[in-house]
A and B are shown apart, each in its own frame.
Chain A
Amino acid sequence: TIGMVVIHKMGNIAAGTSTNGIKFKIPGRIGDSPIPGSGAYADDMVGAAAATGDGDILMRFVPSYQAVEYMRRGENPTTACEKVISRIQKYFPKFFGAVICANVTGSYGAACNKLSTFTQFQFMVYNPLKSEPTEEKVDCI
């Protein structure tokens, strides 16, 4: 799955997702990716977020919307992402998932749920401070 957030230099924000879902799904199953607020969410007044992982769990928590709302309340992107992961962890400690967050100023962050097979999450960043798309990673919590 790819989840993407773009903030234009004029402040316009867009977000999106594309995926072929999970392997061997029951036909008809739709994951979190095409659900606004779940797979991704954007609001020019605040920022945007996108999620990836087990969509059957993620969509129950509308994590991208929740991350944007945390940022609206003043949290920085990293903290907003971490709070979303923590919220899901309380109910599903072993869920597979990660979230990327960015605010309208161009600050960004990410968070993921730590599993034995998933300890770091890699994501891509490109802004004028970088000469090319740059891979970054965070330690899962």
Chain B
Amino acid sequence: FGQLPLILNTWPFKNATMAAWKMLAAGGSALDAVESGCATCEQQQCDGSVGFGGSPDESGETTLDAMIMDGTTMNVGAVGDLRRIKNAIGVARKVLEHTTHTLLAGEAATKFAESMGFINEDLSTNVSQALHSDWLARNCQPNYWKNVIPDSSKYCGPYKPPTILKRDGIAYKDPAHSYSHD
């Protein structure tokens, strides 16, 4: 048996854990603590896998996914493919608090965020731009396409489906990077 309260988070993101703990100590709820912990990681760009300036997509843009769940009410707020808004977990909390929906995505999620008072700003940094430039210079390797022409294992896109689809049976490719993950 353990002790309560408990903060548990993936990866050694100590500042996020501390932020969540402080929120509880200040009288905040479990939801407040999760939001605070995740927001801290977003601000500090935890290992480059959280927040702005990391994991550019094929077009060089950083997009964010976040979700928060209340285990008391089973209420959930989430955003996916959120663009140009830094505080993704904050927007997810607004989805939870101010809508009866669960998940908003893409440009429409950005519009929702703006209506909730979040600032629309570029999420790219010199680091993310350099990552993207290097990827282009490597002929767009690695990537997540399959069964397309031109051969995605050698060339950049744009891609299109072949006239005759040869099913290669590949359901999974090894991770492109050990530390490129959700």
- Interface flag for B113 (CB, 8 Å): no
Q: Contact flags (1/0) for B1-40 with A, using CB distance below 8 Å?
A: 1111111111111101110110010000111011101110
- Interface flag for B181 (CB, 8 Å): yes
Residue from A6, A19, A26, A41 with most neighbouring chain B CB atoms (10 Å): A6
Interface residues of B, Cβ cutoff 8 Å to A: 1-14, 16-18, 20-21, 24, 29-31, 33-35, 37-39, 41-42, 46, 48-52, 54-59, 61-72, 74, 76, 78-81, 88-89, 92, 102-103, 105-106, 131-132, 135, 140, 142-145, 171-172, 174-178, 180-182
Which residue of A has the minimal Cβ distance to B175?
A: A96
Task: Give Cα A51–Cα B17 distance, bound, in whole angstroms.
Answer: 16
Cβ–Cβ < 8 Å partners of A35 in chain B: 67, 78, 103
Cβ–Cβ < 8 Å partners of B16 in chain A: 2, 4, 124
Task: Give Cα A106–Cα B67 distance, bound, in whole angstroms.
Answer: 22
Cβ–Cβ < 8 Å partners of B21 in chain A: 126, 133
B66 touching A33 by the CB < 8 A rule? yes
A30 touching B80 by the CB < 8 A rule? yes
Pairs A-B, 9 closest by C-beta atoms: A106-B2, A42-B71, A55-B182, A13-B71, A31-B182, A30-B80, A14-B30, A133-B17, A34-B78
B182 touching A1 by the CB < 8 A rule? yes
B6 touching A6 by the CB < 8 A rule? yes
Which residue of B has the minimal Cβ distance to A68?
A: B71
A27 touching B5 by the CB < 8 A rule? no
